[in-house]
């Protein structure tokens, strides 16, 4: 089973597979937004789409807090670029499409 939780004290979303920590996405507060700073998935779990699960969970978590996001993490930015439907989660100045 895959789950993502927001570790607010650690400022990161943590991804677990069968209770094992296999990835995380570090974030930082930025006023009305949060900065998606770094995404990491352990090498044994790469290529399974888990990085995308983390990015989507972070976007949904930010929205639940009334925040938008600024993706400075290259992986998160590239993932959002490949999924135009996710632009709505970005801070207005960070949106790539009109």
Tens digit of each residue's pLDDT (9 = 90 or more) over 8-43: 999 999 999 999 999 999 999 999 999 999 999 999
Q: How far is CA 22 from the centre of its chain?
A: 14
Q: Where residue 97 falls among pLDDT bands split at 50, 70, 90?
A: low
Work out the angle at residue 16's Cα, subtended by the Cα atoms of residues 4 and 9, and round it to the nearest 5 degrees.
60
Q: Is the pLDDT score of 96 beyond 90? A: no
38-87 per-position pLDDT tens digit: 999 999 999 999 999 999 999 999 999 999 999 999 999 999 999 999 99
Q: Which domains, ranges and CATH numbers included, belong to the chain?
A: 2-90 (3.40.630.30)
pTM of the model: 0.91
Phi, psi at residue 82, to the nearest 5°?
Answer: -75, -10
């Amino acid at each position: 089973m895959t789950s993502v939780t927001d570790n607010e004290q650690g400022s990161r979303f943590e991804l677990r597979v069968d209770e094992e920590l296999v990835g995380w996405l570090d974030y930082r507060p930025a006023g009305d937004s949060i900065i998606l700073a770094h995404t990491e998935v352990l090498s044994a779990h790469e290529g399974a789409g888990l990085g995308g699960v983390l990015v989507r969970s972070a976007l949904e978590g930010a929205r639940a807090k009334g925040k938008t996001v600024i993706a400075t993490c290259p992986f998160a930015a590239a993932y959002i670029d490949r999924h135009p439907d996710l632009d709505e989660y970005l801070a207005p100045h960070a949106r790539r499409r009109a």
